């Protein structure tokens, strides 16, 4: 069952209340537009909480893995509905790998997920800013950092060979997880991938905006590990 949520209206006072003064209210007003800051309210179908949002993600993934997808919120009427404004219930920080498309593996549709994708699912300054926007302005209740089996970025970081262009900047962000995993047993790629997921979660939690939302019990940040062979997501903790 898909979750619907009300559009929100954010005042300058509410932005400061949640520690968002650093974002700059002038930038928000000028850059995001009045439609986001004073959106029309829509009916609430369910009282969404971070726990319920997480369960919706896990339920959707279970349907996907068991080949029982419902393909919700993918109709033309849904397209028309979300064209007027978005209210996703969850955010995903996932790898750019083409085999892990969030809306498909979580069995969601248009307007349900706020997705940031980057090789190695690393939390860059820009990714953190995007997720702050998704949680504070759009109201997502859970952020899941999703890594996956046999990740190429993780493999390259472990190998440590020189790489061209800006690829190295991605690998540098993963290297601390490589170092912290050297003495651990088991599959090295999986171990580093899970360590990297947890490291990126800590980066997100260091955000003043996201940490305030967590304290107010309006947000939860969790990790997920995607199995390429089964399609299943397991929680990383």
pLDDT value at position 78?
Answer: 97
Please provide the distance, in angstroms rounded to a whole number, between the alpha carbons at the two ends of the chain. 27
The pLDDT tens digits of the residues spanning 158-198 come to 999 999 999 999 999 999 999 999 999 999 999 999 999 99
The mean pLDDT of 207-218, rounded to a whole number, is 98
> Where do the domains of the chain lie, and which CATH numbers do they carry?
48-236 (3.40.1050.10)
The mean pLDDT of 120-135, rounded to a whole number, is 98
The mean pLDDT of 60-87, rounded to a whole number, is 97
Return phi, psi of residue 42, to 5°.
-120, 160
Per-residue CA distances from 177 to 49, 164, 171, 209 (Å): 31, 22, 10, 25
Indicate if the pLDDT at residue 5 is higher than 70. Answer: no
- Rg of the chain over all Cα atoms, to the nearest angstrom: 18
């Amino acid at each position: 069952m898909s979750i619907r949520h009300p559009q929100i209206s954010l005042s300058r006072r509410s932005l400061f209340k949640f520690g968002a003064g650093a974002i700059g209210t002038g930038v928000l007003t000028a850059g995001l537009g009045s439609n986001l800051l004073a959106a029309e309210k829509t009916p609430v179908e369910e009282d969404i909480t971070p726990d319920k949002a997480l369960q919706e993600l896990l339920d959707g993934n279970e349907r996907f893995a068991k080949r029982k997808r419902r393909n919700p919120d993918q109709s033309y009427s849904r397209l028309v509905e979300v064209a007027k404004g978005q209210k996703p219930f969850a955010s995903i920080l996932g790898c750019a790998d083409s085999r892990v498309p969030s809306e498909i593996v979580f069995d969601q549709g248009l307007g349900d997920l706020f997705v940031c994708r980057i090789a190695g699912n690393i939390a860059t300054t820009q990714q953190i800013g995007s997720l702050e926007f998704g949680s504070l302005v759009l109201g997502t209740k859970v952020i899941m950092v999703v890594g996956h089996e046999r990740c190429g970025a993780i493999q390259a970081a472990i190998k440590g060979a020189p790489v061209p262009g800006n690829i190295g900047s991605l690998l540098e962000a993963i290297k601390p997880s490589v170092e912290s995993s050297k003495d651990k047993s088991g599959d090295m790629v999986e171990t580093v991938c899970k360590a990297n997921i947890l490291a990126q979660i800590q980066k997100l939690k260091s955000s003043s905006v996201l940490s305030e939302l967590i304290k107010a019990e309006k947000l939860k940040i969790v990790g997920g590990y995607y199995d390429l062979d089964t399609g299943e997501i397991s929680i990383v903790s």
